[in-house]
A and B are shown apart, each in its own frame.
Chain A
Amino acid sequence: MNAIQITGLYKQFSGKRMKKIDALKGLDLEIAPGEVFGFLGPNGAGKSTTIKLMMGLLRPTAGAAKIMGMDAGQTESRRSVGYLPENPAFYDYLGAEEYIAFVGSQFRMGKSLLARRSEEVLKRLELWDARKRPMRGYSKGMVQRVGLAQALVHDPDVYILDEPMSGLDPIGRALVKDIILDLKRRGKCVFFSTHITDDVEKVCDRVGVIVKGTLVALDRVENILRSGVEGYLIHLKMPETESFSFGGIELFRRTDSVSEYYVPCSAFNGFMGEVNRTGTDVLLVETKRRDLEDFFLALVKSAQGA
């Protein structure tokens, strides 16, 4: 059974003057238990709409979303989910501890377990000292961390996080990445939306890219990174007076006795063959590739142009 199963999910909103807007156009997606899935897309692509449909906050025009085999429209489907909404807001007259207790009670957590887990998550998210203060006095980053704390407290199998790094400083972002990696180690399924490719590259197993309500790419992160290899920068040790070309590849740059050659993928074998033949020392082979951001930008550009 998939942790998350989305089949033909379609959402149409009514805009001004009854104009119909297709926010999501037949999305199909399967996320396995234990998988960390990054949902990338520019603003307005349909990421939050997808998440709200998964959480039963919106009703699909067509298609269905299931969480742990249960239809997302059912209240019980949310029992196995830790959900962080985009730019979360909580009853601001409550302290973080009170709100976490309220969330725990909705998941029918026992008092002692709730107290222990509450302490754990509040300490981990550095909210322990502020736990009794009303949240109306919290900074944006602190509210975001409360959002994560309430998603983590009942230790669910599935996490659905809408822009989890939003509003966090670099330390907070690193903390969230750590938490996601820890969840991954513990076999939890994490589905998170973002438009920051670096977040995805560091923590995700798979990535889906959505543009204008359509999934335009879906692949493992390592495949994307591998397919993005464009060539190699090869550092060779050569006397300063010598200057060679190998396999037709000319010198790119020289620093003291180190010569650098930029070799396209297709010429790599021929280049290395000649280097070996001449007995030149290879100091370093650097992979030159497009990163996930380049991949993402190219996709968005081509999808938006279409």
Chain B
Amino acid sequence: MASIILITLKGIFRDRVFQGIMVTALAFLLIPVIASLSMRQVTELSLTLSLSMISFILLLLSVFLGGTSLWKDIERRYTSSVLGLPLSRQRYLLGRFGGTALFVMIAAVVLGAAAFAVVLYSSAIYPPERPVIWSTMGLCILFDALKYILLIAVAFFFSTVSTSFFLPVFGTISIFLAGGVTQQVYEYLRSPASKSLSPVVKQIAAGLYYLLPNFGAFDFKVNAIYGLPLHVEGLLLTLAYFVVYVGILLSISAAIFIRREMR
């Protein structure tokens, strides 16, 4: 499987995706300037902009790399060659997923380093009221990367059932949008404000809450920006959620992919 991961990484690097990220990362240079326009809370704004930019770049990578990796292999008939080798479809799928996920993690590290530099510079020039907790910022970026790895698993799942790239790409975007609000919807359903809703709607919404990935659970931006403490139990629970959800998604994807006919 390591060789498939390596091949996947080579493909991404040689398609100049990484260079694209580096060019985009140049925008980090503008963050201190833009943040200084706020006159106050410059560091907090630098943090907000940096984390949002990382999140946006990782989102693009997850949707387009995750949504097209498998589809491209099938479309260009690379799978006919690769699956003719003594390589099981599960290993192939996991290798492609692993390579894409690893690249997203590498991108998160590189962009995270740029974000650290930006926030360090801003906090040195405009010292914040509350000190920046670097470990929280690091964990925030790490969990953001995990969120997008989960999104890649969603994209791979769609790729195994689809013959075009529409479902993997647009389906993944839809799931991302829906998964970002499930927590709020769930909390609304449990609040007195939802009394007017019919029980059927409530049950459907609750069902979707459990079915769709809960991306809100991975969001620690507020903690990073305002230096709020993180709870270890919350982090471990999110980590366990990530492992279980990705595990289930990849298992279903593998089960579908094994049955898929490579015409």
Interface residues of A (CB under 8 A from B): 13, 52, 55-59, 75-76, 78-79, 81, 83, 85, 87-94, 98, 102-103, 105-107, 134, 147, 150
Contact B81 A89 (CB under 8 A): yes
CA distance A74 to B212 in the complex (A): 34
29 contacts between A and B (CB under 8 A): A13-B263, A52-B263, A56-B83, A57-B84, A57-B261, A57-B262, A58-B262, A58-B263, A75-B88, A76-B86, A81-B84, A83-B85, A85-B77, A85-B80, A85-B81, A85-B84, A88-B77, A88-B81, A89-B76, A89-B81, A91-B11, A91-B78, A93-B10, A93-B15, A94-B7, A94-B10, A102-B7, A107-B86, A147-B81
CA distance A57 to B88 in the complex (A): 11
- CB within 8 Å of A: which B205-263 residues: 259, 261-263
Residues of chain B within 8 A of A81, CB atoms compared: 84
Residue of B nearest to A58 (CB): B261
Contact A57 B87 (CB under 8 A): no
Residues of chain A within 8 A of B15, CB atoms compared: 93
> Contacts A87-B77, A89-B76, A94-B7 hold; do A52 and B262 have CB atoms under 8 A apart?
yes
Q: How far is the CB of B210 from chain A (nearest CB, A)?
A: 33
Q: How far is the CB of B113 from chain A (nearest CB, A)?
A: 26
Contact A55 B84 (CB under 8 A): yes
Residues of chain B within 8 A of A58, CB atoms compared: 261-263
CA distance A105 to B85 in the complex (A): 10
> Contacts A75-B87, A106-B87 hold; do A57 and B80 have CB atoms under 8 A apart?
yes
Contact A107 B85 (CB under 8 A): yes
Does B3 interact with chain A (Cβ within 8 Å)? yes
CA distance A31 to B263 in the complex (A): 24
Contact B87 A91 (CB under 8 A): no
Residues of chain A within 8 A of B262, CB atoms compared: 52, 57-58
Known: A52-B80, A89-B78, A94-B10. 9 other contacts (CB 8 A): A55-B84, A57-B262, A59-B259, A75-B87, A78-B85, A78-B86, A90-B81, A93-B10, A106-B3
CA distance A55 to B79 in the complex (A): 12
Q: How far is the CB of B160 from chain A (nearest CB, A)?
A: 15
Interface residues of B (CB under 8 A from A): 3, 7, 10-11, 14-15, 76-78, 80-81, 83-88, 259, 261-263
Residue of A nearest to B2 (CB): A105
Q: How far is the CB of A97 from chain B (nearest CB, A)?
A: 13
Contact B80 A89 (CB under 8 A): yes
Contact B86 A89 (CB under 8 A): no
Residues of chain A within 8 A of B88, CB atoms compared: 75
CA distance A222 to B76 in the complex (A): 40
Residues of chain B within 8 A of A55, CB atoms compared: 83-84
Residue of B nearest to A106 (CB): B85
Residues of chain A within 8 A of B259, CB atoms compared: 59
The residue among A85, A92, A147 with the most chain B CB atoms within 10 A of its own CB is: A85
Contact A90 B78 (CB under 8 A): yes
Q: How far is the CB of B77 from chain A (nearest CB, A)?
A: 4
Residue of B nearest to A147 (CB): B81
Q: How far is the CB of A243 from chain B (nearest CB, A)?
A: 64
CA distance A166 to B85 in the complex (A): 21
> Contacts A75-B87, A93-B14 hold; do A88 and B3 have CB atoms under 8 A apart?
no
Residue of B nearest to A82 (CB): B84
Contact B87 A93 (CB under 8 A): no
CA distance A81 to B263 in the complex (A): 20
Residues of chain A within 8 A of B85, CB atoms compared: 78, 83, 103, 106-107
CA distance A91 to B82 in the complex (A): 9
Contact A75 B80 (CB under 8 A): no
Q: How far is the CB of A93 from chain B (nearest CB, A)?
A: 4
CA distance A81 to B259 in the complex (A): 22
CA distance A98 to B259 in the complex (A): 30
The residue among A87, A102, A107 with the most chain B CB atoms within 10 A of its own CB is: A102
Residues of chain A within 8 A of B86, CB atoms compared: 75-76, 78-79, 106-107
CA distance A75 to B88 in the complex (A): 6
Q: How far is the CB of A21 from chain B (nearest CB, A)?
A: 12
Q: How far is the CB of A159 from chain B (nearest CB, A)?
A: 12
Q: How far is the CB of A92 from chain B (nearest CB, A)?
A: 8
CA distance A76 to B80 in the complex (A): 16
CA distance A56 to B84 in the complex (A): 8
Contact B14 A134 (CB under 8 A): yes
Q: How far is the CB of A147 from chain B (nearest CB, A)?
A: 7
Residues of chain A within 8 A of B14, CB atoms compared: 93, 134
